[in-house]
Structure 1
């Protein structure tokens, strides 16, 4: 990619109000976040993630909508929500900002980003959610200890679904 092409991409992001863009080729993966960072990662050609079924338009919801979403109503007795609260009082739930497929590692043969019991920092990548063939890195909202991973690798996730419980430090 030439500097001129990169400049055109950045101008398009600003003109259209896009907050994040991921561009993937056989040679590299480029993620651009407005107000954030630019990452270029070399990706081997042999790495391929399963392609999910087409997602409904809700898959296009911006990542920032998760912050503006109202808190979920309390779960009735005997449901999974009560079990999560009992497991980790005071924990922060990291929720899926989009609909897609949950992956714990950047590639099938790579180690997971985090394991239960790991210490994480705010902004550290916890997992990837693949949506419409785009790999979206999900970052921790707090510094703390990963108490529970609530989703299995390769499972589909819904918008707002809890993915991790993190005990803040």
Structure 2
């Protein structure tokens, strides 16, 4: 099902005019959830104050770090569950000793029912896999060590 912007607006208008309290539409990659919480009191939103840190900021788009000369670490770009293979019982994306090229998928991370591919940004040999399949990983946690070739 492909809905354009006007169709989505019509659905929202009809929902607002109806007595239906919740509407959930799922179709493949498309998900629309509408909810009426008429009885809940409004909670005032407090402004978030910036936190000062002595550590430098890390660029989110950089998914590898140098750990030693000629060696790189591929790190988790987000918090979630790491999957080292495309589906249960399938061969892993990568194995120690295997070559990877820049742009190759090395694993996927699931967060909030969304799968995000983690790609190598260097060409080299997989030295170590630092996590187990289905581990919960933190943002910026090292996942793989790659010896650059």
2:134 aligned with 1:115:
no
Residue 89 of structure 1 deviates from its aligned partner by: 4.8
Q: Which of residues 90, 103, 115 in structure 1 aligns to 2:70?
A: 90
Residue deviations 1:86-115 (CA, integer Å, cap 9, x gap): xx6531010000000011001112110010
Determine which structure has more spread, i.e. the larger CA radius of gyration: 2
Residue 118 of structure 1 deviates from its aligned partner by: 0.5
Normalising by structure 2, report the TM-score.
0.58
- Contact 1:66/1:160 (<8 A) preserved: no
Is the helix fraction higher in 1 or 2? 1
Normalising by structure 1, report the TM-score.
0.52
Residue 67 of structure 1 is matched in structure 2 by 62
Gaps of 5+ in 1: 10-22, 31-63, 72-84
Q: Which of residues 136, 142, 147 in structure 2 aligns to 1:162?
A: 142
Q: Runs of 4 or more off by more than 6 Å in structure 1?
A: none
Residue 24 of structure 1 deviates from its aligned partner by: 7.5
Residue 55 of structure 1 is matched in structure 2 by none
Residue 112 of structure 2 is matched in structure 1 by 132
Residue 67 of structure 1 deviates from its aligned partner by: 2.4
